[in-house]
Structures are given as C-alpha cells and as structure tokens.
Amino acid sequence: METLKTVKPGQKVKVIKLHGEGAVKRRIMDMGITKGSELTIRKVAPLGDPIELTVRNYELSIRKADAEMIEIQVI
C-alpha cells in the first residue's frame, strides 16, 4: 500500500482509498480529497511536514499524519 506520505514533489497521483475514521476522514473529504481525485505534489517541507498539493485546481497543505491515511497510485 503506497500512501501520499511517500511521494516526491512533481509526481501526479490518483486517490485509491481513504483510511481513517469519523471526523478525520470527513475533514479530508471536505478538503476535496476523495476517491478517484487526482493530486499533484507541489512541495514537501524540509522535515516532511506539511506537504503542499494541488487538488481540484487549488493549493492545499496537509500534515504528514493525514497524508498517511490517503492510499494512492502514481499516474
């Protein structure tokens, strides 16, 4: 299982599955990260936290802990 936490800047990925429970999963979905959506990794901070993404034509920063819950496939 490959997660969003493991990708490098510049890669384009597709969301396969969201792991997690309740409010955390709902918050990720409210940000526009849903099954089947395509993300582009823009930047990763020097220590790996946060990760900056482009999702649905807007920029989003998420924490490493949240990125671990997003199962992806590299396009």
Report pLDDT digits (tens) over 18-60.
998 889 899 999 999 999 999 999 999 988 789 999 999 999 9
- And the tokens for 65? 């802990």
> Phi then psi for 9, rounded to 5 degrees?
-55, 140
Q: Which amino acid is at 35?
A: K
pLDDT band at 63 (very low <50, low <70, confident <90, very high): very high
Nearest alpha carbon to residue 27 among 62, 71, 64, 51? 62
Mean pLDDT of 9-15: 93
Q: What is the pTM of this model?
A: 0.84
In the chain the domains, ranked by start, together with CATH numbers, are 4-74 (2.30.30.90)
The predicted structure's pLDDT at residue 21: 87
pLDDT category, 1, cuts 50, 70, 90? confident
Give me 45's structure tokens.
């901070």
